[in-house]
Amino acid sequence: MPVIDLRSDTVTQPTPAMRAAMMAAPLGDDVLGDDSAVTTLERTIAAMLGKEAGLFVPSGTMANQLAIRCHCESGDEIIAHGESHIIHYETGAPAALSGCMIRPLDGARGLFDADAVHAAIRNRDIHSPRSRLVVVENTHNRGGGSVWPISQFRAVSAAAREHGLAVHVDGARLFNACAAAGYSAAEFVRDADSVSVCFSKALGAPVGSALVGPRDLIDRARRFRKMLGGGMRQSGFLAAAAIHALDHHVQRLAVDHTRAKELANRMDGIWGVTVNPPLREIESNMVFFDLAPSLGDAREFCARLLAAGVAMIPMGARRVRAVMHLDVPEDVIERTVEALRHAARQ
């Protein structure tokens, strides 16, 4: 039987309907501004998030880094949770590309509050970097796919505004948060100065993200996109996939959330495997679990899982992540539990 790949929601293949949409896409040259599918996507995602303009980019990392480059100057400081994607998975890009430091905050499940923002603000003098940007990640990957309450985000945004800071939302899985919490994307990001969203994660497109915000910021980001080599030519193929994903794959995200909870519930009886965050705190499509020392480290455990037909990814020495997504089969829970028992030697 084919391997069930739960390493990430980035592993999905385009559906037949998405492939058909890609093949039917009108093509131009987006760097020259005449690829109509890209233009349509940029206008669509900006409208969905209640912002003036959007920019199609190859990856979520580029979207986040363009936002940082647009908001900050060299020597500025970014306030973000210590487990943020921009710290762990973007190869030091804030320092390398924008010359910025990051002030890491603590907080359960990747979230922090307004008091933490107030406490992190630097004094305005010649000795300190300038506090310039607050970054919020929703859903928060290393927090277990946790979802920001809208009231908490608005309080954090208000604190940032009080000190003259901009706010960027790393919304790679923003639509997962919306499906879990019941707010709209535009409602959540109302107080954000910029937002990144990813089409190639939970939404199932093969490539691409978008940065949205005020028109002047997006015009500035478009220039930096070209500078960083992110200008794509006949990219209407990819834009059409993203449009299809927005039209057809947003409403089904709740299915992935339900499956994640079902898997966590079924894992409860497997000795040496501890779901963390626990079942009651699982809000989206991710299940994290910790391993007892007798089960070996996470890489060894994942190798045994793969031999049993399920792929997961190590997220620490004894921490493993499973992600539900568009391409999992109907029997994903049964087969995954069986593989987990095999890997745990039960």
User: Which pLDDT score, from 0 to 100, does residue 346 have?
Assistant: 66
155-200 confidence digits (pLDDT tens): 999 999 999 999 999 999 999 999 999 999 999 999 999 999 999 9
Class of domain 252-343: alpha beta
DSSP tag of 131:
E
Specify the CATH architecture of the domain 16-248. 3-Layer(aba) Sandwich (3.40)
Count of CB atoms within 10 A of residue 95's CB?
12
Residues belonging to the chain? 346
* Closest among 311, 101, 86, 104 to 196, alpha carbons compared: 86
Please provide the average confidence, as pLDDT, over all residues in the chain: 97
Contact (Cβ atoms closer than 8 angstroms) between residue 281 and residue 109: yes
pLDDT per residue over 304-324, tens digit each?
999 999 999 999 999 999 999
pTM over 0.85: yes
In the chain, domain spans? 16-248, 252-343
pLDDT for 268 equals 87
CB 273 within 8 A of CB 258: no
The burial class, CB within 10 Å (0-12 / 13-18 / 19+), for 195 is: buried
Which pLDDT score is estimated for 269? 87
Return the pLDDT at 295.
Answer: 95
Q: What is the pLDDT of residues 102-112, one digit of tens each?
A: 999 999 999 99
pLDDT tens string, the chain, 346 residues long: the values are 899 999 999 999 999 999 999 999 999 999 999 999 999 999 999 999 999 999 999 999 999 999 999 999 999 999 999 999 999 999 999 999 999 999 999 999 999 999 999 999 999 899 999 999 999 999 999 999 999 999 999 999 999 999 999 999 999 999 999 999 999 999 999 999 999 999 999 999 999 999 999 999 999 999 999 999 999 999 999 999 999 999 999 999 999 999 999 999 999 889 999 999 999 999 999 999 999 999 999 999 999 999 999 999 999 999 999 999 999 999 999 999 999 999 998 6
Phi, psi of 15 (to 5 degrees): -70, 160
209-213/53-57 β-pairing = antiparallel
